């Protein structure tokens, strides 16, 4: 956003007053006096006026092990949400980079960095997501072939990318998909009249739940710090 508009918005000063503040050197960006109101300022740059902080947002990234029964939403009048599990003063700034159904367990990523969440979720982003799937019926070779070939989803007008399927037991599969369509895995199995009885997301791209990561646990991370993934 342009600096003059941001200052006007955050300080509630009128356009002329903002111009005067800029001209008198009262506005700083990242600690340095800034007189150019037309320059762009990102959400994460510190902006101050007369030493009063107007914006000072730290970029946040969180991995969370979502337990069953918790909503993948930022607020809800009835049900507990993933945000309710994060006991940090900044939890309300976060949004989800991809949702899980209420009964589904496993990894969700939250952030206040829109560009980062878009890199994981926007159409065309090729990010593998791996799930452990338990079903009410055994998985046949026909099902595996269909998943590995790609399936047509008329509503969204897409054909899924070839999934990776690992049969762990007759009714247990490790499945990697590359899209994140609504109820995608349940709908894939439903084509074959198979019901998903438990679903757990193990990983999103390079980010995975390690064994010590219990339901309800969360951790902050930095996207470039390999050891924290």
| Binding positions for ligand URA, 64-93, rule CB under 6 A | none
Is 101 an annotated catalytic residue?
yes
Region binding ligand URA by CB under 6 A among candidate stretches 80-88, 100-108, 137-145, 212-220: 100-108
Residue 101, interface with ligand URA (CB under 6 A)?
A: yes
Q: Which of residues 166-205 bind ligand URA (CB under 6 A)?
A: 183-186, 199
Parallel/antiparallel/unpaired status of strands 152-153 and 158-159: antiparallel
The Cβ of residue 4 has, within 10 Å, a number of other Cβ atoms equal to: 20
Q: How far apart are CA 23 and CA 31, in angstroms?
A: 16
Nearest residue (CB) to ligand URA, 34 versus 147: 147
Shortest reach from residue 123's CB to ligand URA, in Å? 16
- Using CB under 6 A, which of the segments 9-17, 86-94, 99-107, 141-149 binds ligand URA? 99-107
- Rounded Cα–Cα distance for residues 130 and 9 (Å): 42
133 binding ligand URA? (CB under 6 A) = no
Q: Least distance (Å) from ligand URA to the CB of residue 14?
A: 48
Q: Which of 55, 104, 111, 130 binds ligand URA (CB under 6 A)?
A: 104
What is d(CA 209, CA 43) in angstroms, rounded to the nearest whole number?
29
Residues 65/107, Cβ–Cβ less than 8 Å? yes
Q: Which of 101, 113, 136, 212 is catalytic?
A: 101
Does residue 135 belong to the site contacting ligand URA (CB under 6 A)? Answer: no
Q: Are strands 52-55 and 47-49 parallel, antiparallel or unpaired?
A: antiparallel
Return the SS3 of 25: coil
What pairs with residue 106 in β-bridges?
A: 66, 201
Q: How far is the CB of 185 from ligand URA (least distance, A)?
A: 4
In DSSP notation, 73-103 reads SS--SSS-BGGGG--STTGGG-EESS---TT
CB nearer to ligand URA: give 55 or 184.
184
| Interface contacts to ligand URA, rule CB under 6 A | 100-101, 104, 183-186, 199
Which residues are catalytic, by number? 101
């Amino acid at each position: 956003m342009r600096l003059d508009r941001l200052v006007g918005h955050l300080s509630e000063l009128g356009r002329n007053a903002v111009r005067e503040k800029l001209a008198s050197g009262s506005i700083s960006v990242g600690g340095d006096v800034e007189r150019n109101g037309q320059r762009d300022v990102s959400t994460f740059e510190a902006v101050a006026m007369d030493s009063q902080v107007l914006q000072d947002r730290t970029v946040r990234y969180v991995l969370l092990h979502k337990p069953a029964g918790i909503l993948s939403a930022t607020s809800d009048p009835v049900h507990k949400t993933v945000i309710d599990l994060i006991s940090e003063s900044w939890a309300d700034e976060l949004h989800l980079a991809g949702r899980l159904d209420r009964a589904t367990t496993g990894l969700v990523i939250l952030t206040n960095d829109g560009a980062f969440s878009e890199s994981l979720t926007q159409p065309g982003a090729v990010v593998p997501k791996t799930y452990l799937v338990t079903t009410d019926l055994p998985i046949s070779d026909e099902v595996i072939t269909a998943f590995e070939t790609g399936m047509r989803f008329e509503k969204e007008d897409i054909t899924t990318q070839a999934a990776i399927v690992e049969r762990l037991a007759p009714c247990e599969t490790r499945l990697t998909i590359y899209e994140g369509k609504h109820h995608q895995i349940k709908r894939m199995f439903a084509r074959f009249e198979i019901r998903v009885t438990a679903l757990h997301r193990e990983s999103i791209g390079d980010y995975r739940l390690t064994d010590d990561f219990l339901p309800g646990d969360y951790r902050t991370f930095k996207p470039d710090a390999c050891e924290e993934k």
